[in-house]
Structure 1
Amino acid sequence: MSRFRRTSRRSAVLASLSCVLALLVAGCTGGSPAPESTGRQESSEHTPSPESEGLPDVVPRPSQLVDTGGDVRVSGKVSLVVDPAVVPATRDLAVRVLRAAGAEEVVVRDPGRRVEDSTLRVRLGSRWAPAMMKAYQNTELEFPSEDEEALAPESYALSIRRGQNPEIVLGGVDPAGTYYAVQTLRQLATPGRVAGVAVLDEPEMSTRGVIEGFYGSPWTHAERMDQIAFYGAVKLNSYVYAPKNDPYHRDRWRDPYPAERLRRLRDLQEEAAENHVKLTFALSPGKSICFSDPADWNALTDKLDSLYDIGVRSFSIPFDDIDYTEWNCSSDRAEYGAPSAAAAGEAQARLLNRLRREFLARHHGTMPLQTVPTEYSDTEDSPYKSALRERLDPEIELMWTGPGVIPESITVDDAASAERVWGRKTILWDNYPVNDYDATEGRLMLGPYAERQPGLGEVLEGLVINPMNQAAASKVVEISAADFAWNSSEFDEQRAWRAAAEYLAGDRFRGDEQRLTPDSETVDALMVFFDLNHAAVLPDGEPWLRPAPELRRRLDEFRKAWSGDAANRKRAVAELRGYAQSIADAPERIRKGTPEDFVADVRPWLRATDLWGDALLATLDGLSARASGDSEAASENFRRAGELADRAGSVRTEPGETRPQGPVRLADGVLDAFIRQAPDMR
C-alpha cells in the first residue's frame, strides 16, 4: 500500500482528474487535447457512485471513475501505439479487446510512426514515459513529498475521449498496472463502442489472491491454469500453492517432485508470470520435521531449490494443522528443551529466519518469505505467539485466519489486534468459501463476500481466500473478494455478487472473441441459484450467512398474505408462483448459458434445484386448490410435492469431487421447511 494514502489526496484527484487525463492525452500524442464534446460532466469534491450517475460498472471498483462526455465508437482501422516497455502479452490483450469491441483491423506501431485512415488512436504505455510524465506534472494534482511514493505499485490511469480525434490512452506505473489498465478497458467495451470515462486507480491491499489450502481432492492442472488467468483478469495478484492432499507438499515434503509434476508447476509459474500473478509455493514440513537435523535442513532447501530452478520466486513455510506439543526427534528436545508452545514458536522462528537469511537472501529475485503459524486464529496472546512476535524476522510475512478459524465476521479492530499480537500487519487467510469441513457437507458457498468490514485494507498486509473444492464455482466469491481487496472502502457486496453472475453469463472478463455483454436471463437465473446456495456455516453448523435470504423474504410475505381472505390467498399464490417458476427454470438456463466447467462443478446442485423447483410449484398447486375449496386436488398436489422433495433430498455430491461427501443441501431450512409445512396451512 502506498504510504501516500488515497484519503489524503482524494479531493485533489477528484478536482483535477479530468484535467489530468486531458493533458495525459496530449502528452502521449504530442499534440493538443482532443476537443471536449458538449455535456461533459465536471469533476467535483465527491465521487458519485457509478450506479447513481449511469457510469459503467467496473470490477474491482476503481478508486476514481468519471465521465468524459460520451462513448467512443470502435470500428474500421484502429491504430495502437505501444511503448517498447509494454510486454507482448499486454499488447496482445489490448489487440483482442479492440477487435472484440468492433475494430476490423488493429495496426500496432511504435511511438512516432503514423497510421493513415485510422478511426481511433490508442496509446498503451507507462505513465512514467517522458511524454506522459510531463503531462502529469503539468496538472494541479497534489503530489506527496519527495520521499514518498505517489501511487501504489500496480496503479494505472486511462482516458477514453471522443471528439474530432477520438483517442484512448492507457498507462500503468509498472507492467502490472499497464496490464490492469487493459483489463479495465475490456470491461468498458460493448459491441461497437467503449464507454467515455477516465479512471485513476490503485489497490488498497498489496497482496490479493487465493490460497489453494483446502483438504480433499486438489484442483486439476487445467483448473489451476484457468484460475490463474482469471486472477489476472480481476486484478488478483497472488496464488498460493498449498493443497493439503498433495503428498509432496505435506506428508512427503522431503521427496523431490517427480518430473511430470515439476513440469506442471513450471507451467503454473509461467502462466502466473504472464498474468501478473505471484505464484507462492508452500512447503509444509511441520508434521515430521526435526528442526535440529542438518539432513532435514538440506531436504528443505533442496526442495525449494528445485522450485527456484523452474522460476518460482515466492515461498511459504506453513505450520498450520500440526501438533506442536511433541518433538519429532530427540535432538530437538536437547536443542529447545521440553516440548511446549513457546519452544515450538522458537524452533519455527529460528528455521524461518535461517531460511530468509541463508536461502532467500542468496537467491536473486526472491520475494519475502511467508508462513502460517500453528496458532493461526484469534487475537489472544500466548507463549507461542509471544515467541514468534519476539523472534521472527520482521521481513517475514505471516498469515492469520481472523478472530476464528471460520470467522463469522472480521472487523478493522480485529485486524488491528492481530497486528499488535503478532508485531506486524498480517495477511488475512480467509476460510470462506472453503467447504472441506464436516458442517459444509453437501453445500456450495455461492453467497457474496460478506461480514468483512470496509477499511480492512488499511490494517492488513493483504487478503487471500481459501476456496472450495469446486474451482469454477469458487469464482463467485473470488470476484467479490477481488473487489474487496482492491477497494474495500467502497465495497458493495450486492454489486460484486451480481458481477459474478454477469461474468458467468457473459464471460466479459475474457473478452476477445466472446460476447462483451452478459445474457440478462442467465444473470437472473444465476441470482436465483446463488440465493438458494447463499450459505456459510461455522464448524458447529450454525450459519453465519443466512440461508436463501431472497426466497426466505418471499416465503415470509406469502405466509402473511395467506393469513388473509380468499382474494389475498389467490394473489399470494400467483405472486410466489412466478418466483417458483424461476427456480424451476434456472437449472436449464444455467446449463445452456454458463461455462462448461461451472456447470460441471454445480451439476448435483442443479439437479436438486430442478426437483426442488418442481416441488415448490406442486406445493403452490396444492395451496391454490385449497384456496378454491378442492381438498382432493390439494391432497394430491401435496403428495406429489412430498415425493419430489424426497427425491431432491436424495441427490448427493459427486464421489471424489467434494470433501465431505453427502446429500446436497440447498436453501436449507427454508425451502424444505415451507414444502413440509404447507399441507398444514389452513
Structure 2
Amino acid sequence: MTPRPPRLTALGAAASLLVGGLLTATPAAQAADGGRPDAPGNAVTGQSTPAITPTPQSVRTRSDRVTISPSVTLVTGDTSDEPSVKVVEAALRRAGAQRIVRSDRAGGSGLTVHVGVSAALADQHIEGPDALPADGYVLGVGADRIVLAGRDTTGTYYAAQTLRQILPRQNHPGAEVDGLAVRDWPGTALRGVIEGFYGTPWSHEARLDQLDYYGEHKMNIYVYSPKDDAYLREKWRDQYPAEQLAQIKELTDRAVQRHVEFTYALSPGLSVCYSSDTDAKALVDKFQAIWDIGVRTFAVPLDDISYTDWNCAADKAKWGTGGGAAGAAQAYLLNKVNKEFIATHPGAQPLQMVPTEYYNVSATAYKKALAEQLDPNVLVEWTGVGVIAPTMTVAQAKAARTVFNHPILTWDNYPVNDYVTNRLLLGPFNGREKGLPGELAGITANPMIQPYASKLSLYTVADYSWNDAAYDERGSWLRGLNEYAGGDARTEKALRAFADINYSSALNKQEAPDLAGEFARYWQSGDADRLTSVLRDLGNAPGRLRSSLPDRGFIDDSGPWLDATESWATATRTALRMVEAARAGKGAQAWELRQQLPALVAEAKSFTYTGLDGHKVPVIVGNGVLDGFLDKATAEHDRIIGVSGRPTASTSLGTYQTNTVARMLDGDDSTYFWSDGAPAAGDQVTVDLGRVREIGGITLAMAKPGSTGDYLHDGVLEYSADGQTWQQLTAFSGKPDVTATVPAGTKVRYVRARATAGQTNWLVVREFAIEKEGGAVAGGPPAAAGSALRAAADGDLGTVYRAARAPEAGEALELGLGSARSVGSVTVLQSAGSEALADIQLRGTDGIWRTVGALDGPYTRVNATGRTADAVRLAWRAGSAAPQIAELVVG
C-alpha cells in the first residue's frame, strides 16, 4: 500500500458541518496580511501579477525579486511531502535550474526554496499559514528565497502547484521572478468530480489522467461511481476480479500522490434487503476489500431506484410502506455500515450517501425519516432543485441543509451529457450564486462521457469552488482555453471557436455566443469580409486542434464533432456567398450555390459516434446558430428573387433537447416540437408564412404517443397580417387536434395557437399545417412519384416539380395568378442539370398567350415590365427533357 501523507483532511473538516455550523475562512485568515506588513487583506494588486488558477484569495506583488540560479538549494519542512517536492523540482528545472540540492538548511549561495517551512516566511515579513483553513497555503517569492508553507501537506502541495504556474519556462538559468506573496485557501472543503454518468465508462488511462488534472487544479475529491460498472450496482455483492481490483488500487495510489480523496461509491439499491444482516455484511465485506487496497472514503448512493417496491418481504414487514418507511430503512442500513465499518477503521473519512429524493428541497416523509434517523456525520449528496439544476442559490442550499438536517455535498450535474449524448458541453460552470460554496460541505461535478473534453468545463468548476467571490464565468473559461491550448495563440483561437459552438447547456441557454454575435453583426452591417474570415477560421479550427493541441485525448473524444464543425463551416460559407451573389444581382451564381446547400447540410449532419449500446449517435454542433444562419440566408436569397420561402415557426416556450419548433413544419408527423416546461396563459406557438397571402384550412396536431396529455388544454387559434393585431379564428379545449378555416379572401401572414390558461402538462406540436390559396398550377407532364405539380410554385425552393416523362407536343405548365395584374419579371429556377426547353409566356387580358422569353439553363430571369397578365406558362418545346422546376416566380 502506498504510504499516505499525514494531513488535516477536507472530509474531516466537512464532517464537522453539522446543524450548528458551516465551514468558512476564519476571521484571522480573512484579515491576514498577504505581503507587506501595512497592506490590507484579500486584494489582488499589481499589473504584473501572473495568472494563477484557481483564482487565489489574495495575491500581492513585492518590490523585490529572485533569480533562478544554476544551483538551487531545496529545504523541506513539516508540511512537505514527496509529491510536493517533485512538483517544485520539476518547476525549477523548467525555469532553468540545472542542479537541485536537497538540504536541511539554506545554502550559502544561489536560490533557496523552502517547501513546507513556515518559519522561513519571517524574513519575507509574511504571516504564516496557521490561521488558514485546511488546504490553505502561503507562497512567498522575494528576499532571495521562495517559501511554500501549507496549513497541512495538501496546502503545501497546492502552493507547489501555484509556484509551477508562476515560474517561467526556459532552458537556462538566470530568469528573474518578480516578488510575490500569495495567501490562499479554498472556499469549501471538498472540490472535485463524481464519475456518475450513464454510458461508456472512462478508461483506466483516462481516470489516471483525470487525477493528475485534479491535483494541478486544487480539486481534492474523486468519486468513483460509474453507472455501468456492474460491480457497483447489479453485482454489488460480488468481489472484483483481481485485474479490476488492481486498477482501482492504481487509481487510489495516484489519488494519494495528487492529494485527491479517492471515494468508492457502492450502489446496492437495485436488490438490497435493508433489514438483512447478510446484505449489510456483504456491503461491509465489499468495503473492506476496497479498504485493503488503500481507499479511505466510501459512499452509498441510493439514487435512481424505486422505494415504493421493496426487494424483500422482511423490509415491508419491518417498516411498512411509503416514503417514510423507505427513509427509515435506508437510515437503518447506512447507520449499520457507519457503526460496523467506518467507526471501526481509524482513518476512514465520513460516509457519504445519495438519497433517493436527491433533487429538491420539498419536505417529505422520506426526507424527514433521513433527517431524524440517519447518523448526523453522514454527508448527504444533493443535485439542487432539479436533476440538472439551471441555478443553485444560497437559499436553496440552506433549505437543503434544513430539510435533510445533514451536511450537504452537491452532486452537480454539469457538464454531464448522458441525457444529450449527441452534444459536447464545453461552456463554463454558471448559474451558481456567489456564497454557495460556504454553505456546503463541498461541490462535486458530474462530467461528460468524454473525459478529456470535460476538462474545459471542469477548469471552471475548480475555479468557482475554490474562490467563488472572485469567479467570473467568462474570464475563467477563457483562461481555461489558454491553459488547455498550451499558451499557443493560434491553437487557443481554434479551441475557442470549437468550444463556442459547443457552449450551451441546461445551465446556460447561450448557444455559440461568439458566432451568434458575428452572424447578428453581419445581418446588421453587411460586412461579408469579416464573416468570411470568421467562418474560414471555424473551418480551419479542427485541423489546427488535430495538429497542435497538447492533450491528444481531446481529439479522440471530439473527433465526430470536429468533423461536423468542418462541414458546417463549409455549408455556412457557401450560404454567405449565396447571399452576397444574390445581393449583387448574380442570380445564376446564387442559385447554383443555393442548390449545393442541401447536400452540404446533409453531410454536416451525417457524423456519428458509437454509444455503449452499439447504436450510432448523430452529433450536433452550434444547434440553432449554424443551421439558423443557413435558414436565414436561404430566406434572404429567396426574398431577393421574390420567393416567399417556406414558413418559419417561433414560440414563447423553451425547447426540450433538440425538439425545435421547426419540426412542427417539416411535414413529418413522427417529429415534433416539445417544450421544456408547462405553458402559462399567453404562451404561444406561431407560424410566419413570410408574406401576406390568402390561406385555406389550418390543422394543429398536438400530443404524441407516450405524452398524450402534452397539448394546449385551453387555447385559441388566431391570425394576423402584421403580427400586431390579431383576430380570433376559433377557441378549443380538451382536444389535441384542432382544425379551422379562415373566411374566404382573408389576407394572413401569421397564425398562432395561444394558451388561454395555465396547465401542468408540457406541449408537443407534431404539425402546424396551413394551406395556401391561389397560385394554382396545372398542365403537364404529370409529376413523378414523390413530386407534385404544385411544387413548381409553392414558395419553397426545397421542393421540386419533377416530371414523370418528357413533354409531349402541346403540353405546358401553367400558373394562374388569380386575377389580371402587372407583371415585372418572370424567374424560372430549374434543378442543376435539367435540360428542359420551353418558351415563357404570359396570358394578357385579351386571352392571348405571348412569349416573353425562353428557358436558358438552371436560372432564367426575363423582363416583363409593362405587361399585364392573369397567368404564366412554360410552353414546352419539342425535344425537351423531362422538366425539373424548383420554382416559377412572377415578380
Q: TM-score range by the shorter chain?
A: 0.7 to 0.9
User: Could you say which residue in structure 1 is the equivalent of 2:293?
Assistant: 310
Are 1:368 and 2:350 matched, yes or no?
Answer: yes
User: Could you say which residue in structure 2 is the equivalent of 1:247?
Assistant: 230
Q: CA deviation at 1:291?
A: 1.3
Match of 1:644 among 572, 577, 600: 600
Match of 1:556 among 514, 520, 534: 520
Q: CA deviation at 1:74?
A: 2.5
Letter in structure 2 aligned against 1:152: P
Match of 2:369 among 365, 387, 390: 387
Are 1:505 and 2:485 matched, yes or no?
Answer: yes
Q: What SS does the aligned partner of 2:410 have?
A: strand
Whole-angstrom CA distance in 2 between matches of 1:604 and 1:387? 48
User: Could you say which residue in structure 2 is the equivalent of 1:675?
Assistant: 630
Whole-angstrom CA distance in 1 between matches of 2:45 and 2:338? 45
Whole-angstrom CA distance in 1 between matches of 2:23 and 2:343? 29
Are 1:189 and 2:176 matched, yes or no?
Answer: no
Whole-angstrom CA distance in 2 between matches of 1:408 and 1:559? 31
User: Could you say which residue in structure 1 is the equivalent of 2:465?
Assistant: 485
Letter in structure 2 aligned against 1:674: F
Whole-angstrom CA distance in 2 between matches of 1:445 and 1:171? 37
* Aligned sequence identity (%): 38
Q: CA deviation at 1:213?
A: 0.5
Q: Is the 8 A contact 2:23 2:189 kept in 1?
A: no
Distance change in 2, residues 1:195/1:660 (3 Å) = farther
Match of 2:475 among 482, 495, 502: 495
User: Could you say which residue in structure 2 is the equivalent of 1:545?
Assistant: 509
Are 1:123 and 2:114 matched, yes or no?
Answer: yes
Whole-angstrom CA distance in 2 between matches of 1:557 and 1:292? 65
TM-score (norm 1): 0.86
Distance change in 2, residues 1:659/1:445 (3 Å) = farther
Larger RCO: Structure 1 or Structure 2 (Cα < 8 Å, ≥ 6 residues apart)? 1
Letter in structure 1 aligned against 2:564: A
Q: Is the 8 A contact 2:275 2:333 kept in 1?
A: no
Whole-angstrom CA distance in 1 between matches of 2:160 and 2:628? 48
Q: What SS does the aligned partner of 1:211 have?
A: strand
Q: What SS does the aligned partner of 2:232 have?
A: coil
Q: What SS does the aligned partner of 1:68 have?
A: strand
Q: Is the 8 A contact 1:287 1:322 kept in 2?
A: yes
Q: What SS does the aligned partner of 1:472 have?
A: coil
Match of 1:396 among 372, 378, 385: 378
Whole-angstrom CA distance in 1 between matches of 2:453 and 2:24? 35
Whole-angstrom CA distance in 1 between matches of 2:27 and 2:133? 14
Distance change in 2, residues 1:196/1:521 (3 Å) = farther
Q: CA deviation at 1:44?
A: 4.4
Whole-angstrom CA distance in 2 between matches of 1:527 and 1:49? 28
Letter in structure 2 aligned against 1:299: A
Deviations 1:45-69 (A, max 9, x none): 672467xx34211110001011113
Distance change in 2, residues 1:642/1:262 (3 Å) = same
Q: Is the 8 A contact 2:35 2:182 kept in 1?
A: no
Map 1:430-449 onto structure 2 (within 5 A): 430-437=412-419, 440-449=420-429
Q: What SS does the aligned partner of 2:453 have?
A: helix
Map 1:392-431 onto structure 2 (within 5 A): 392-431=374-413
Q: What SS does the aligned partner of 2:377 have?
A: coil
Match of 2:548 among 569, 585, 593: 593
User: Could you say which residue in structure 1 is the equivalent of 2:134?
Assistant: 153
Are 1:324 and 2:307 matched, yes or no?
Answer: yes
Are 1:622 and 2:583 matched, yes or no?
Answer: no
Distance change in 2, residues 1:534/1:49 (3 Å) = farther
| Greater per-residue helix proportion | 1
Distance change in 2, residues 1:641/1:10 (3 Å) = farther
Q: Is the 8 A contact 1:403 1:414 kept in 2?
A: yes
Q: CA deviation at 1:363?
A: 1.1
| Greater per-residue strand proportion | 2
5+ long unaligned stretches in structure 1 = 21-41, 144-148, 507-517, 538-542, 562-568
Are 1:520 and 2:489 matched, yes or no?
Answer: yes
Are 1:574 and 2:529 matched, yes or no?
Answer: yes
Whole-angstrom CA distance in 1 between matches of 2:346 and 2:407? 25
Q: CA deviation at 1:10?
A: 6.8
Q: What SS does the aligned partner of 1:122 have?
A: strand
Are 1:215 and 2:198 matched, yes or no?
Answer: yes
User: Could you say which residue in structure 2 is the equivalent of 1:565?
Assistant: none
Deviations 1:68-110 (A, max 9, x none): 1365442522222222652222111111110111212222222
Are 1:281 and 2:264 matched, yes or no?
Answer: yes
TM-score (norm 2): 0.66
Q: Is the 8 A contact 2:29 2:131 kept in 1?
A: no
Deviations 1:220-254 (A, max 9, x none): 11111110111011000000011110000001000
Q: Is the 8 A contact 2:272 2:311 kept in 1?
A: yes
Whole-angstrom CA distance in 2 between matches of 1:357 and 1:45? 44
Letter in structure 2 aligned against 1:286: G
Match of 2:156 among 178, 181, 184: 178
Match of 2:499 among 515, 518, 530: 530
Q: Is the 8 A contact 1:436 1:660 kept in 2?
A: no
Distance change in 2, residues 1:375/1:637 (3 Å) = same
Q: CA deviation at 1:176?
A: 0.4
User: Could you say which residue in structure 2 is the equivalent of 1:58?
Assistant: 52
Q: Is the 8 A contact 1:84 1:110 kept in 2?
A: no
Letter in structure 2 aligned against 1:668: N
Distance change in 2, residues 1:350/1:4 (3 Å) = closer
Mean alpha-carbon deviation: is it higher for 242-251 or for 351-360? 351-360
User: Could you say which residue in structure 2 is the equivalent of 1:344?
Assistant: 326
Whole-angstrom CA distance in 1 between matches of 2:178 and 2:489? 20
Q: Is the 8 A contact 2:126 2:181 kept in 1?
A: no
Q: CA deviation at 1:588?
A: 0.9
User: Could you say which residue in structure 2 is the equivalent of 1:12?
Assistant: 31
Q: What SS does the aligned partner of 1:210 have?
A: strand
Distance change in 2, residues 1:658/1:408 (3 Å) = farther
Letter in structure 2 aligned against 1:122: V
Q: Is the 8 A contact 2:75 2:104 kept in 1?
A: yes
5+ long unaligned stretches in structure 2 = 1-9, 14-21, 641-891
User: Could you say which residue in structure 2 is the equivalent of 1:666?
Assistant: 621
Whole-angstrom CA distance in 2 between matches of 1:639 and 1:223? 44
Q: Is the 8 A contact 1:471 1:601 kept in 2?
A: yes
RMSD: 2.3
Q: Is the 8 A contact 1:445 1:533 kept in 2?
A: yes
Map 1:64-143 onto structure 2 (within 5 A): 64-69=58-63, 72-83=66-77, 86-111=80-105, 114-116=107-109, 118=110, 120-127=111-118, 131-132=119-120
Number of aligned residue pairs: give it: 612
Whole-angstrom CA distance in 1 between matches of 2:331 and 2:472? 39
Q: Is the 8 A contact 2:42 2:57 kept in 1?
A: no
User: Could you say which residue in structure 2 is the equivalent of 1:655?
Assistant: 610
Deviations 1:586-614 (A, max 9, x none): 11111122111011100111101111111
Q: CA deviation at 1:356?
A: 1.1
Distance change in 2, residues 1:428/1:256 (3 Å) = same
Whole-angstrom CA distance in 2 between matches of 1:659 and 1:549? 33
Q: CA deviation at 1:154?
A: 0.7
User: Could you say which residue in structure 2 is the equivalent of 1:28?
Assistant: none
Look at both structures and tell me which one has the larger radius of gyration over its CA atoms.
2
Q: Is the 8 A contact 2:430 2:508 kept in 1?
A: no
Q: What SS does the aligned partner of 1:253 have?
A: coil
Deviations 1:501-520 (A, max 9, x none): 122211xxxxxxxxxxx101
User: Could you say which residue in structure 2 is the equivalent of 1:23?
Assistant: none
Q: What SS does the aligned partner of 1:95 have?
A: helix
Letter in structure 1 aligned against 2:116: G
Q: What SS does the aligned partner of 1:335 have?
A: helix
Distance change in 2, residues 1:5/1:429 (3 Å) = closer
Whole-angstrom CA distance in 1 between matches of 2:100 and 2:314? 67
